[in-house]
Structure 1
Amino acid sequence: RGGADFLGQWVLLYFGFTHCPDACPEALQRLSSAAAALERDPALPPLQPLFITVDPERDDEAALRRYLRDFHPRLLGLTGPAEDVRAVAAAFRVYASAGPRDADGDYIVDHSVLIYLLGPDGALLDCYGSGKSAEELERSVRRHMQTYRAPQ
């Protein structure tokens, strides 16, 4: 699915992979907590939490569903052909590189650890590194929502 599917919606986006040992679960926990807190405020517009895999070789739709059920209930997981995934990641300047395979054929993907905020017009409004807490993330997104003006 393309980014156009989410036009008109606020999106919190994270690129990662389901076999990630620590960075992805930690980031998705912060993203999920922030999204849940923002949802509790009826004055704010809806927010779509989104996860795009950087490991489409292992992360099919079933793997994404299994992995993401531990996070926000509306967190959508997207995958696709490797070249499409690379193109989307490149559009956000996401770094992702698969490491060497071990004896079992398993590998780790080194990748950027950033959460992106996209406005309803699809524009990138902010990005958050691992130093931002869920509360800081929530406050920043809330501020963006309250001050957002659609481009003319």
Structure 2
Amino acid sequence: MTRIFPSALLPLALMLAGCGSPQPEAEPPLVGAKIGGPFRLTAADGRTVTDRDFAGRYRIMYFGYSFCPDVCPTDMQAIGAGLKLLEKSAPEKAARIVPIFVTVDPARDTREVVGRFATTFHPRFVGLTGTEAQIAAVEKAYAIVAQKGDPSPGGGYLMNHSKQAYLMDPDGKPMALLPSDEGPQAVAATLDQWVR
């Protein structure tokens, strides 16, 4: 059903719709969701990294793969640029956030590849990979579905995977989905809304 505004109220409605960041809700939308959990993966420098290494900091958790032709680079660009916007407007908040990229394609995304890919979008992005079993475990914990597509004639393949960017709190609990498909400003506004 289409809502029709009386013409006198339309300018007021448009003005209110264009106001800065949305009023904070009482609780973040993902509070209580069973998303997240312990993980043990490998960073670009070869170090073993666990979820405990990020304790006390907000985390952006994004899952994708470096050979992705379209969606992953677009999302990563929006997340990285959104974090840069927050670094300008609220540097204290931005400093408390760790952006993390976890591959869903560990066969091709070695630690070096995943590290280069992640830092292309923001210098603080942490790229993580692991064994097939480690990646499967973290996908399950974060409700990510990933499956290798049919091989192309040249032997390459695409990964079919779910597309979410989670904002996790300093205790590793889910807070909100980042609207990476809406661009950097929307990402920055969501981060600004929930990071304290």
Is this a same-fold pair by TM over 0.5? yes
Is residue 2:79 matched to residue 1:31? yes
**Matched residues in 1 for 2:124 and 2:107: separation?**
24
AA partner of residue 99 (structure 1): G
Sequence identity percentage: 32
Question: Which 10-residue stretch deviates more, 85-94 or 37-46?
Answer: 37-46
**Matched residues in 1 for 2:189 and 2:116: separation?**
29
Is residue 2:186 matched to residue 1:136? yes
Q: Shift of residue 39 of structure 1?
A: 2.0
Q: Shift of residue 22 of structure 1?
A: 0.4
**Matched residues in 1 for 2:188 and 2:98: separation?**
13
AA partner of residue 117 (structure 1): L
AA partner of residue 48 (structure 1): V
Q: Deviations for 1:71-100, whole angstroms, at most 9, x for unmatched residues?
A: 101111000011110110111111111001
Question: How many correspondences in the alignment?
Answer: 146
Q: Which of residues 153, 158, 174 in structure 2 aligns to 1:108?
A: 158
**Matched residues in 1 for 2:179 and 2:188: separation?**
13
Contact 2:78–2:181 (Cα < 8 Å) also in 1: no
Q: Which residue of 2 aligns with 1:98?
A: 148
**Matched residues in 2 for 1:131 and 1:42: separation?**
23
Please give the secondary structure, in 2, of the residue aligned with 1:25. Answer: helix
Flag as ranges the 4+ runs of structure 1 deviating above 4 A: none
Higher-Rg member (1/2): 2
CA RMSD of aligned residues (A): 1.4
Q: Which residue of 2 aligns with 1:126?
A: 176
Q: Which residue of 2 aligns with 1:14?
A: 62
Contact 2:180–2:187 (Cα < 8 Å) also in 1: no
Please give the secondary structure, in 2, of the residue aligned with 1:36. Answer: helix
Q: Which residue of 2 aligns with 1:86?
A: 136
Q: Shift of residue 104 of structure 1?
A: 2.3
TM-score normalised by L of structure 2: 0.70
Question: Which 10-residue stretch deviates more, 84-93 or 124-133?
Answer: 124-133
